[in-house]
Structure 1
Amino acid sequence: MSSSAVATSRSIANVSQVTALINTLSKLPRKANLLWYLVLGGLFLDAYSNAALGAGLSPMTKELTLSPTQVGVLTATAPAIAILFNPAGGWLAARIGRVKPLIAAKAIAALGAVLTATAGSFEAVWFGRGLVGIAYGIDFAVAMALLAEYTPAKLRGRLNLWQSVWYVATTVNLALTLLFYNLGVSVEIWRWSVGSAGVFAIALLVLQVVFLAESPSWLATKGRLPEAAKSLRRIYGFEVTPGTAADEDVPAQERKIGFRQAGVLFRKPYLPRTFLSTAISLTQSMQYFAVGWYLPVISLAIFGQQFQTATLGSMIFNVAGIVGGALSAYFGRKIGLRVSSAIGYAFAFAILLMMGLGFGKLPIAIGFLLPFLFIFFHSAGPGANGKSIAALSYRSDIRTLGTGVTGMLGSFGSVIGLYVFPQIKEAMGLGPTIALLAVVPFLGLVSCLLVRWDPTRSGVDPDDEEIAIKFAGSAA
């Protein structure tokens, strides 16, 4: 047993006691750490699957003779379907647990990758990408919630590591695509890129089936205390026994959670938290996808028109995201998620103004440095924080509803970034469009200044907060 685990046996009678026990840890035991990164691996797969199509979009368009409209539909399919399956995945996880939806998402992702890689028509590719969108929507809502429930309070900043993993996955996909290119794969390179996502999905499916353990917090909210005790022992090495809760001491352990209960996210004390996590998720998504859409163009302009040099250029830009995403966990721990988001927005606002107003006039070195810095401050600040704040702001029985609903609302930002801003660009030109885009991080900054909530600085676990609210109501 890990030295960090509790050696003496104790009793657990409710979810508050479960989370309090986990929060006694200053670091995760080896087994818990393995499971933590295994869940994070699902987010790697989500990012990899999203990048897989983009890396081979041009050769796929040539091979299947796709029209611009069809290309746009394929690009939109996965994120659009994810909008619907974010809350669906959250609802499902609130009803049947965290692990089953995560495993189902890997199976769906593998099937979608195989269908896309072997497709011979637009319709087949579209269907495969639809399955990828379903998997992405389910997995992201559930994985962030499970990571929050696995993580002690002192380590909550590490949830932001998902942002670094996102850029690592994109870079790995670019590197493999470059490898396939050098091996002589030509027009069918997109099939190799998408097919490799299926290999990752199957490997992760097997590992999660074998190793993942259900969230003890969720089990406790369902009154399944013997299973919660078993899960605590399996994950952390805690020796605990299930207790019996007196009705007057704790909230009801079994709650029926459905879409009707999502209304609690928009009432006190959760309304400000829902507003902040949604605002950050929406604005960071808008600014990233709008600017990210033009990064390949910038890369081609700087590194040349050849596939190899342009791909290497895109990988260099992703380095900024990897470093920034890794540092976001540090910043989240040191200054909090809200403040680090505000600082990131402030830099993004200034950089976008300089990029837009100086477009076509700046030296090549500055033209490269500005988007590199934008990606860094985006990933180090708001890029990760919307989803992390949502995962940490709600009590266990509604946590996946919170991550699902705010994820759905935030996903509209990707649609706006990918499709509304290109339309503005056609009417105004790229420089003015980028300058106009600076209003997005400005609005994100204002949101962070208006709402003072920060789950890493509140000092109260949401499950403990539920107990306090009940006691206050009883006293009144």
Structure 2
Amino acid sequence: MQSLVIRGVSDVVSFIDARPRISGRAAVIWWLALSGLFLDAFSNSALSAGLGPMTRDMELSATQVAILTSLASWVAIVFNPIGGWLADRWGRIPPLLFAKLLALIGAALAAFAPTFEMVLAGRFFVGAAYGIDFAIAMALLAEFTPARFKARLNTWQGIWYVAVSTNLILAIGFYNLGVGDSIWRFAVGSAGVVALVLLVLQAVFMVESPTWLARKEKLERAARSMTKIYGEKFTVAAVADRIPVLNQATRGIANVALIFRGTYRQRTILAATVQMAQSIQYFAVGWYLPIISLTLFGADFVVATLGALVFNLFGVFGGFMSPVVGKKLGLRRASAVGFGAVFVMLVILGFFYESMPIWLAFIVPSLFILFHSAGPGANGKSLSTLSFRSELRAGANGIIGAIGSMGAALGLLIFPLLKEGIGLGPTFLILSAVPLAAFIICSVIKWDPTRATVSPDEETNAPQFKSDAAAQARAAEAAAASLVSR
């Protein structure tokens, strides 16, 4: 078998981009990374379907509900950048496996918790797992996806709603088993089963990202990874023939500052805006759909849960359509259109939710979820993943993910308090300001990675930052001095 020679990161990126499809071991890795996002959604929404029964079971106040439901997101704010730093420093796979272990511990603690405080402890571990996993899994997906399929990263949004819908279906099943108000224990316990299965599968089948290895100038390991993944023989060029990595970020956790400078600044602002705004609107409205359904359709658990399931099926459809929408419109424009439509839905709910006929009460929240999932719901993660080079990618995902987790925590915390204090209608109207502001920002900033002609990993023609420019100047001076000495 003739071997393929790797000279540097550009050869790795070019080979992956030339693939006609994501197949073989690469497809297994791609879907296992995506399955980790299924677990994140499943664990994060495990309390959602059973929140009403749990509130009765543990006699929780509105403040306790707000703290409990938002805790995982507050924890994720801290662990998003930690996970990103670990992945950019040590590789993608070890922290991914660690995240599954944390999710398993969190599920077990919450499922068997005798007290409210123990449930909080379980949700702490779930938040840590969610924070670590999401930043890394999206980076890994980007590094295994050919350039022509960039929009497919948005598939994670469809997977998210499949996980949420699965939780709702299981909740109905557990309800019919007669478990009573303990239904929430079964929901969080089932997330532990998913975590255990994924821990085993990822440990067996995952392979380190060759793009990350090449950016770190670990070409021998990159060649071994490529051989495992693609079933072809890869070797490394002689040292004299290797292409050096320009502008490599080598300052560890201090790399975080780089995403707020130079050409990356606008990319960070755009991705962070989409991430935070979509998190607030989803976790303030979408996450609470089972509770909103109780308000709209009455107190029957099965009817309200079926109503929430219908809403989320629109999310499944929109989520799996988001790669198509993103490819057609671009991630930025798709986000802007989605935010504009969500703003309209929230205004309608704010003014008319009490007087709407039942058919309209189904349609408006369903359209909210559809426009959210097909547009900005997926795009915040994808924008941050596709906008930065490999040694910054997971760290950028971590920082921008932390901003998104802050939005999620605010949404989860604010909604029950506002709903109790001023009612559901005014709450919807206040929240409508979020997608309106995001729509404006998405309309002003023009960056879109799906419309870029060069991968961020190959953006080496011009220095991005002053520190890079200085490093290049020193290297040029050293090269000139070497020539003179000869």
Query: One fold, TM greater than 0.5?
Result: yes
Aligned partners of 1:8 and 1:334: how far apart in 2?
39
Equivalent positions of 1:37-436 (< 5 A) are 37-244=31-238, 250-251=244-245, 256-292=250-286, 294-436=288-430
Shift of 1:466: 2.8
One-letter code aligned to 1:214: E
Partners of 2:315 and 2:45 in 1: how far apart?
14
CA distance 1:54–1:433, change in 2 (3 Å)? closer
CA separation in 1, counterparts of 2:124 and 2:308? 26
Give the C-alpha shift of residue 376 in structure 1: 0.1
Return closer, same or farther for 1:344/1:172 CA change in 2, 3 Å cut-off: same
Check the 8 A contact 1:113/1:198 in 2, yes or no. yes
List alignment gaps of at least 5 residues for structure 2: 478-486
Task: Give yes or no for contact 1:346–1:441 (8 Å, CA) kept in 2.
Answer: yes
CA RMSD, Structure 1 to Structure 2 (Å) = 2.3
Which residue identity lines up with residue 250 of structure 1 in the other structure?
P
Q: Distance between the aligned counterparts of 1:423 and 1:268, measured in 2?
A: 40
Give yes or no for contact 2:52–2:291 (8 Å, CA) kept in 1.
Answer: no
More off after superposition, 442-451 vs 395-404: 442-451
Do the aligned partners of residues 356 and 61 (structure 1) sit closer, same or farther apart at CA in structure 2, a change above 3 Å counting?
Answer: closer
Cross-structure match for 1:3 = none
Q: Within 1, Cα distance between the matches of 2:424 and 2:417?
A: 10
Aligned partners of 2:164 and 2:312 also within 8 Å: yes
* SS of residue paired to 1:250: coil
Q: Deviations over 1:316-371 (max 9, x none)?
A: 11001000000001111222111111111121122222222223233222222111
Is 2:432 the counterpart of 1:447?
Answer: no
Cα 1:240–1:372 change in 2 (3 A) is same
Structure 1 counterpart of 2:71, which letter?
Answer: T
SS at match of 2:45: helix
Local SS of the residue matching 2:5:
strand
Task: State the distance in 2 between where 1:72 and 1:237 align.
Answer: 50
Distance 2:341 2:263 in 1: 31
Judged with a 3 Å threshold, the aligned counterparts in structure 2 of structure 1 residues 12 and 293 are, in CA distance, closer, same or farther, namely: closer
Q: Is the 8 A contact 1:45 1:197 kept in 2?
A: yes
Mapped partners of 1:247, 1:262: distance in 2: 32
How far off is 1:386 after superposition?
0.5
Deviation of the 1:423 alpha carbon: 4.1
- Distance (Å, rounded) in 1 between the aligned partners of 2:257 and 2:241: 25
Find the aligned partners of 2:433 and 2:55 in 1 and give their Cα distance. Answer: 34
More moved, 402-411 vs 343-352: 343-352
Are the aligned partners of 2:49 and 2:290 in contact in 1 as well (CA < 8 Å)?
Answer: no
Letter in 1 for 2:396: G
Instruction: Deviation per CA, 1:66-117: give whole Å up to 9, x if none.
Output: 4443333221211110110000000010111000000000011111111111
Quote the Cα distance in structure 2 between the aligned partners of 1:425 and 1:301: 11
2:484 maps to none
- Check the 8 A contact 1:257/1:398 in 2, yes or no: no
Instruction: Report the secondary structure of 1:456's partner residue.
Output: helix
**Is this contact kept in 1: 2:63–2:417, CA < 8 A?**
no
Q: Displacement of 1:426 after TM fit?
A: 4.7
- The counterpart of 1:27, out of the listed 14, 17, 21, is 21
1:225 Cα deviation from its structure 2 partner: 0.8
Name the amino acid aligned to 1:69. Answer: T
Structure 1 CA distance, aligned partners of 2:411 and 2:67?
15
Following TM superposition, by how much is the alpha carbon of 1:410 offset from its aligned partner in structure 2, in angstroms? 1.7
- Aligned in 2, Cα 1:277/1:71: closer, same or farther, shift over 3 Å? same
**TM-score, normalised via structure 1 length:** 0.93
Report the Cα offset of residue 254 of structure 1. Answer: 7.2
Distance 2:279 2:92 in 1: 25
Distance of aligned partners of 1:71 and 1:353 in 2 relative to their CA distance in 1, 3 Å threshold: closer
Q: State which drifts further: 143-152 or 308-317.
A: 308-317
Shift in alpha-carbon separation, 1:26–1:238, aligned structure 2, 3 A? same
Contact 1:81 1:137 in 2 (8 A): yes
Structure 1, unaligned runs of 5 or more: 1-6
Contact 1:281-1:410 at 8 Å conserved across structures: yes
Other structure's SS at 1:11 match? strand
Give the share of equivalent positions with the same residue, in percent.
50
